[in-house]
Amino acid sequence: MSEISRRDALRRIALALTAAGFVDRVSAQEVHQMASKAATADGGRYQPKALSLRDYQTLERLTDLIIPVENGAPGAVAAGAARWIDMLASENGELKDIYTSGLAWLDAAMKQRGAADFLSAPPADQTAMLDLIAYRRNQSAELAPGIRFFTWVRRMTVDAFYTSEIGIRDIDYRGNTGLLSYPEPVEAIAFALKKSGL
């Protein structure tokens, strides 16, 4: 999380606390978690728990290609997608196997194409590989393990990103909040009716 967005979030909570006059449990938890995130963000590198450092860095690069920075808006790396995947893999042997064998396949496939491994390959070679394994239409005996693996990484990266604070802001979800009354969404209804012709 960027320094500015973290400060924003903390200020938002502080305002809510002052207005309400008490700390409810969830807000308190949020403050606590933000404080701990701030500490780790400043504290430097994450130590992977399931993957080797090299594999972890490769995974982080994959998540970056799947949900990149977009017009300055942070992507999967800032959202900590690789950390989350590594954390789950550290608790789940099946998941760990999927990632260790998948990343091994990826490096081997890159080697066959003349690179040392995926991470050190030039970006154009990395995306050339993704252009193969990111689509079912390229299905073949050779690529099947790669396509299967990439489906996992893409799915979990998307999950990780959109369940993070960064991703929830990115998709502009506006709910999970208390309202005194529920306003009729007049503009949205007018838009949908016009577009549908109903």
Partner 1 sequence: MAQVVKSPAAHDVVIIGSGAGGGTVTKVLADLGVSVLLLEAGPMLNPADLKEHMWPYDVPHRGVGPKGEGYFGRSPFTYGATYGGAQIEGEPYTVAPGSDFSWFRSRILGGRTNHYGRVTLRFADYDFKPKSRDGLGVDWPISYEDIAPYYDKAENFIGVTGTREGIRSAPDGIFNPPAPLRAHDVLVQRACAKLGIRAVPARQAVTTVARNGRPPCHYCGQCGRGCKTASNYASSYVQIFPAIQTGRVQVVTNAMARELMTDEAGKVVAISYIDKTTGSEKQVRCRTVVLAASACESARLLLNSKSSRHPQGLANSSGKVGRYLMDTVGYSAGAFIPALSGMPRYNSDGYGSHLYVPWWLWDKKDLGFPRGYHIEVGGGYGMPGIGSFTGIVNRTEGYGVAIKQAIRDEYGASVGLSGRGEMIPNEQCSCEIDPEVKDRWGIPVLRFHWAWSDHELNQVRHMQATFHDILETMGAKVAAPTDVGGRPPISRGGAIIHEVGTIRMGDDRESSVLNKYCQAHDVKNLFVADAAPFVGNPDKNPTHTIVALAWRTAEYLAEEMRKGNV
Residues near partner 1 (CB under 8 A): 25-26, 29-30, 33, 65-68, 70, 84, 87-89, 91-92, 94-95, 130, 134-136, 151, 154-156, 158-160, 162-165, 167-168, 170-185, 187-189, 191-193, 195-198
Minimum distance of partner 1 from residue 193's CB (angstroms): 7
Rounded to whole angstroms, the Cα distance separating 180 from 166 reads 27
Question: In this complex, which beta carbon is closest to partner 1, that of residue 8 or of residue 185?
Answer: 185
Query: What SS3 state is found at 70?
Result: strand
Question: In this complex, which beta carbon is closest to partner 1, that of residue 45 or of residue 174?
Answer: 174
Distances (CA, A) of 114 to 37, 110, 130, 149, 178: 40, 6, 16, 21, 57
Question: In this complex, which beta carbon is closest to partner 1, that of residue 140 or of residue 177?
Answer: 177
Do residues 30 and 13 make contact, with C-beta atoms less than 8 angstroms apart?
yes
Question: In this complex, which beta carbon is closest to partner 1, that of residue 112 or of residue 196?
Answer: 196
Question: In this complex, which beta carbon is closest to partner 1, that of residue 91 or of residue 142?
Answer: 91
Rounded to whole angstroms, the Cα distance separating 8 from 69 reads 20
Minimum distance of partner 1 from residue 121's CB (angstroms): 16
User: Please, what's the b/e burial string for 155-182 (b: 16 or more CB within 10 A of its CB; e: otherwise)?
Assistant: ebbbebbbebbbbeebeeeeeeeeeeee
Do residues 63 and 77 make contact, with C-beta atoms less than 8 angstroms apart?
yes
Minimum distance of partner 1 from residue 110's CB (angstroms): 16
Minimum distance of partner 1 from residue 156's CB (angstroms): 8
Q: Counting Cβ atoms within 10 Å, is residue 49 exposed (0-12), middle (13-18) or buried (19+)?
A: middle
Minimum distance of partner 1 from residue 2's CB (angstroms): 16
